[in-house]
Structures are given as C-alpha cells and as structure tokens.
Amino acid sequence: MNCEAHSAGSPVAATENIYLPKLAVLDRVSDNIPEVKTFFWHFEDAAEQAQFRRFRPGQFAQVSLFGLGEFPASLPPSPTEDETFFTIRQVGSCTAALHQLKPGDKFAVRGPYGNGFSMEDYYGKNLVFVAGGIGLIPLRSCIVYALKHRDQYQRIQIFYGSKTPKELMYLPNLREWQQSAGVECYLTVDRAADSWSGNVGVVGSLFKKPGVQVPVDNTMAFVCGPPIMFRFVIKDLLAMGFREGDIVSTLERYMKCGVGKCGHCCIGVAYVCVDGPVFTYEQIKKLGEDI
C-alpha cells in the first residue's frame, strides 16, 4: 500500500530471509585448550557452502542450536584454507550444547556477517599481531591469510600470550609460525609450568625483550584479547609511536540478529554486527564504551 519507503535504501534484489539459518553438518571436533574446541563443519547444501566461503578474515557467523538459540562466532579459518571451522569456548547454554555434538550431528549457520579486516588495504605494510588468550581466534584468519600472501607484506610479527602453556591456542600453528622464516613469532605465558622454557610475563613484556624490534612506521597492529590485556597493549603501542588509526581490533557484543536490527550490539552510533566487528582504536575510543 503506502510503500514508497520500500524502494529507499540499498538495491537488494529479491528479498531473502535474513534470519533463516541453513543446515550444517559437523565433520570432526578437535580439542584445543581446556573448555575450547574446534568444530570442522560444512553446509549440507553445496551452493550455500560455496557462497559462505567468500568470507573475509575478521567476519563472523551466527550459529544456531535449535531449542537453545543462536550465538555469534568468529571465523578463525582464512578464506585461503579449504576447511571451514569455528573455535568455541564453552561459556553459555548454546556453546555447551555445541560442545556435546558428535561428528555427523546437525546444527545451523547463517552469515558471514560484519566488515572484516581489509587485508588488501594493508599490502606493502608491516603487520604486527598481538593476541591474548582466545583473542587469537579472530586473528588466526588474518595471520594465515597474510602468510599465504607473504610477498604482499613487509615484516610480519606475532606476539601471543596465554595464562599457562596449556592454554596456548592453535599449538600446531604456533609451532609452524615459530619455525617459518617469514614470521617473527614470540610467545609468553603468565604462569610457567616445568616444561616451559619460553618467556614468562604479560604480552607487552615481549616488546621490550632483547632482540625484539617492533616496526612502527608503515605498520598495522592487530590487537585482540581480554579487556585488561587490550588496555595495556594499547598503552604500549601508543608509547612506541603507533597512530590510533593504525591499530585495529575486533569488538565482541551480545547479538541476536547479526544484521543491524535487534539493537543489542549498538554502541554509540555503531552497530558492531554491520559497522564492525573490526574497528580501529581511533574509532573504538570515540564509541565511548568499555571494550
């Protein structure tokens, strides 16, 4: 009837149902660290799978466990990898149910959503990744992507810390990065165990270690981790001379829709789901809420 409003806005052709998740099949599960598992899966429908595989590093998806609900989950794989997976910590009822699933079980996914990291814009720059704990999950995608396009970037550094050696995420990847010639990968733990011969201390302590030289000019810094780690790392980076616009991170918020409608993730003028989850520190500061 009175429908002029319907033609306003962006040109999306046929209206698809933005809330309709598609069935996914769990292929296998691998244990990472306590309470965190990686779930390898594919869409039941091949066309759906192909479409989903166009995701960018830093994007996320909504995962459905019917009867319990939906939750947003980072996409740790790089689009350059063949497998599709989530790495999920068990924190609430939905994630607990996911942790109970066996290979062959079905759940549902919709996405990918969010802006993601614009990795192509960073061609020709140094990349410095700083992650704490499970903050490595969203950054893993960028790191793998950057290493796949190694020639496009200058130096690549990874600084990663966890509470204990047992809680280091993606151990096979970490070993690979440590041994790779093209990457400088530094690890640290807050509390060492007997077997640990590496650095002990917070992630920021790695910056000051002898032999470590963090490039500041022409560099993008990626920072992901718990709020306290984030605050201290930002302080360190700014002290080193990083510009606020050259530090990027991903924000996490409670989300119900993932498509800018439900309102839960809105901070200031930004909807984390559609305007983010990737923001520069310059933007985060202006949003005016705790990370």
Partner 1 sequence: MKARMLERADVLKIVDLLRQQGYEVFAPFSGRGRDTWFDLVNDENRDRIQVHLPNPYYPPKRFVLPHIERLLKVRRSNGEIQIEPTYRERKRALFGIRSCDLAGIWHLDRFYLGRDFRDVYYEKRRKNLFLVNVVCTDPERDIGEECFCPCADTGPAARDHFDLQLMDLGGEFMAVAGTPAGEALFAHSMFKQGTEAQVEKRHAILSEVRKRFKTTTSWFPATVRYVSQGNILEKTWEDIGNRCLECGGCTYVCPACTCFTVSDRQVGPDEIERVRIWDACALSGFTRMAGGFNPRRAVHDRRNRRFFRKLAHYFIQRELSMACVGCGRCAAVCHGDVGMPSVVEMIRRATAANDKIQPV
Beta carbon of residue 289, minimum distance to partner 1 (angstroms, whole number): 5
Is residue 17 within the footprint of partner 1 (CB under 8 A)? yes
Is residue 70 within the footprint of partner 1 (CB under 8 A)? yes
Residue choice 33, 63, 75, 94 for contact with partner 1 (CB under 8 A): 94
- Judged by beta carbon, residue 196 or residue 232, the one nearer partner 1 is 232
Residue 157: closest CA among 139, 172, 171: 139
Is residue 274 within the footprint of partner 1 (CB under 8 A)? yes
Is residue 195 within the footprint of partner 1 (CB under 8 A)? no
Is residue 92 within the footprint of partner 1 (CB under 8 A)? yes
Beta carbon of residue 124, minimum distance to partner 1 (angstroms, whole number): 30
Count of residues near partner 1 by CB under 8 A: 50
Is residue 9 within the footprint of partner 1 (CB under 8 A)? yes
Is residue 108 within the footprint of partner 1 (CB under 8 A)? yes
Is residue 267 within the footprint of partner 1 (CB under 8 A)? yes
Is residue 103 within the footprint of partner 1 (CB under 8 A)? no
Contact 145, 119 (CB under 8 A): yes
Residue choice 39, 71, 186, 207 for contact with partner 1 (CB under 8 A): 71
Is residue 53 within the footprint of partner 1 (CB under 8 A)? no
Residue choice 34, 182, 198, 263 for contact with partner 1 (CB under 8 A): 263
Is residue 120 within the footprint of partner 1 (CB under 8 A)? no
Two structure tokens written together for 128: 């410095």
Contact 21, 64 (CB under 8 A): yes
Phi, psi of 221 (to 5 degrees): -110, 130
Is residue 261 within the footprint of partner 1 (CB under 8 A)? yes
Binding site for partner 1 (CB under 8 A): 1-3, 5-6, 8-10, 12, 15-23, 66-71, 91-92, 94-95, 106, 108, 227, 252-254, 256-257, 259-264, 266-269, 274, 289-291
